[in-house]
Amino acid sequence: MRILVVDDSALYRKILTDAASSALGTEAVAVSNGESALKKLESEKFDLVLLDVFMDGMNGPQVLEKIKVLYPKLAVIMVSGATGRDAEITINCLSNGAIDFIPKPVGSSFEMVAETLKADISKAVSLARLPSSTTASSSIIEAPRAPEPTPYLKPKRLQPPAFPELLLIGVSTGGPLALSKIFPILSAKIPVPILIVQHMPAGFTKSLAMQLDRSSDLTISEAMEGDIATPGHTLIAPGGFHMEVQRNAVGKFQVHLTSAPLVHSCRPSVDVLFNSAAKCNLQGAIAVILTGMGSDGADGVASLRAACSSWCIAQDAATSTVYGMPKAIVQRDLHDEILPLHEIAPRINKLFRI
């Protein structure tokens, strides 16, 4: 695998190049600006671009836009700081064709920063090596794995629940793009709270919520401890915290944030949210599992099915950036419907009779 590193900082070019070259079977080449990157892509073949967000001259988003036009199958992963402005631009890049991002770590030493980036780049290389990982409209099929044990489940319903009380969404890699396609179409008349877990580190989920809020008739915000989840209001789990939902003393849905250990190597975790919802004595729930690597969400959907009348929509392989989380749902026969991305929002509206 050949990796092109694009960063205007000499220090980060060295760190990123060394980290990328340390992965088995990789070769990394570095350039210092967007113009040089595009010239390099004209003359040489690369499998992955690690692209800095802020650079002198042509910035990261501008380079990404050109790459997606000229080389639509080339995988691009953004490298970003975690300031508010960096995070907002990074989320926009994820909605415009970048398959993932790597946050620039803040460390007290060169060695600490290098080790953190080495682990993140190793994951990025694994992602880019998956088949057809190059566009958000293509499918990434993860290597087969043994199905996880499924607890006792109530038989599937032939019809969706008549009175769902929550809409729960779980998503990971490719999530900002998927959510940006869904939320502009979702009706503001949805009569239940909407709770989302997007695998994302601290500092980025607030920007994601703000971007979605601007494009949607719904109110969308990053969740805070103790938030009351109200009908039509969408709460996104903050990066670095698990989000649980509980019924308070007056029967309202209330958010509780925890720093409990990682689940499926994630915090926030989809399973944590869904498992907590299963304990809320619900009349019914709608669960949606979108694109993402791994199997987070499958245990939570199983818990919902065992606890209440529930209905699960899994995104299909053809429109998933990474067909991991939805695939885990399908493998365990936890889905009620498998839909392409563009059909999910209209179907949710219909489920709520809108």
Catalytic residues: 172, 199, 296
Give the β-pairing of 233-236 and 194-198: parallel
Cβ(181)–Cβ(345) under 8 Å?
Answer: yes
Task: Give 300's DSSP letter.
Answer: H
**Which residue in 266, 202, 256 sits closest to 224, CA to CA?**
256
Please give the structure tokens belonging to residue 189.
């008349």
Please give the single-letter amino acid code of residue 266. Answer: C
Cβ(326)–Cβ(134) under 8 Å?
Answer: no
Please give the single-letter amino acid code of residue 106. Answer: V
DSSP-assigned letters across all residues of 38-87: HHHHHHS--SEEEEESS-SSS-HHHHHHHHHHH-TTSEEEEEE--SHHHH
Q: What is the sign of the dihedral through the CA atoms of 197, 199, 200 and 202?
A: positive
Q: How many CB atoms lie within 10 A of CB 20?
A: 26
Using a CB cutoff of 8 Å and minimum separation of 24, what contacts does 247-254 make? 247/280, 247/281, 252/228, 253/165, 253/166, 253/193, 253/228, 253/229, 253/280, 254/226, 254/227, 254/228, 254/229
Spatial separation of the C-alpha atoms in residues 227 and 256, rounded to whole Å = 8
- CA atoms within 13 Å, Cβ hemisphere of 322: 26
